[in-house]
């Protein structure tokens, strides 16, 4: 598919849109429908489309495996880290109230960070799964 100009051009046009939509779902999640999980999948779709059209090697050079690994771990760490932070600040695990100056501010920040962690991890895992399957037949 690498040599099909229509696909290449369309992909180049819609990939940024997909990514932006992913970010929207991510960050709008605490006000409207959405959230880290969905956003992560949508975000990953952009990369997967890139891999489908331009080849997995191109995708691999865009996001090397060690980076993916770090991102997966980082997202999870962010999530757990928030929980640990609340613990350290003297409250229960994931009791966000203590994070901000006001309880609602704390809730806001806490959910924002936790969802970000989820989104990052999910998208990185999705890309890894795609690479894992797509890479099977590579020499």
Closer Cβ to another protein, 53 or 122, answer by number: 122
How far apart are CB 70 and another protein at their closest, in Å? 6
- DSSP letter for each residue of 67-79: HHHHHHHHHHHHH
Minimum separation from the CB atom of position 58 to another protein (A): 23
Q: Does residue 133 belong to the site contacting another protein (CB under 8 A)? A: no
The string of DSSP letters for 97-135 reads GGTSSSHHHHHHHHHHHHHHHHHHHHHHHHHHHHHHHHG
Alpha carbons 19 and 112: distance in angstroms, whole number: 18
Q: Give me the least distance between CB of 115 and another protein, in Å please.
A: 14
Site for another protein in 42-71 (CB under 8 A): 69-70
Q: By C-beta, is 1 or 73 nearer to another protein?
A: 73
DSSP-based three-state secondary structure for 2: coil
Residue 118 · residue 75 · CB < 8 Å: yes
Question: Whats the size of the chain, residue-wise?
Answer: 139
- Shortest distance (Å) from residue 13 CB to another protein: 35
CB-CB contact of 139 with 57 (8 Å) = no
Q: Per rule CB under 8 A, is residue 92 in the interface with another protein? A: yes
**Cβ distance to another protein smaller for residue 41 or 76:** 76
Q: Residue 18 or residue 111: which is nearer to another protein going by CB?
A: 111
By CB under 8 A, name the binding residues for another protein: 69-70, 72-77, 80-81, 83-84, 87, 90-97
């Amino acid at each position: 598919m690498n040599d099909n100009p229509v696909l290449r051009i369309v992909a180049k046009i819609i990939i940024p849109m997909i990514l932006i939509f992913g970010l929207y779902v991510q960050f709008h999640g605490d006000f409207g429908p959405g959230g880290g999980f969905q956003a992560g999948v949508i975000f990953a779709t952009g990369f997967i489309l890139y891999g489908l059209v331009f080849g997995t090697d191109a995708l691999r050079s865009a996001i090397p495996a060690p980076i993916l690994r770090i991102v997966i771990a980082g997202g999870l760490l962010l999530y757990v880290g928030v929980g640990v932070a609340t613990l350290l600040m003297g409250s229960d695990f994931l009791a966000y109230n203590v994070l901000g100056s006001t309880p609602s501010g704390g809730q806001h920040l806490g959910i924002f960070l936790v969802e970000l962690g989820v989104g990052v991890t999910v998208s990185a895992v999705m890309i890894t799964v795609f690479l894992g399957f797509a890479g099977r037949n590579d020499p």
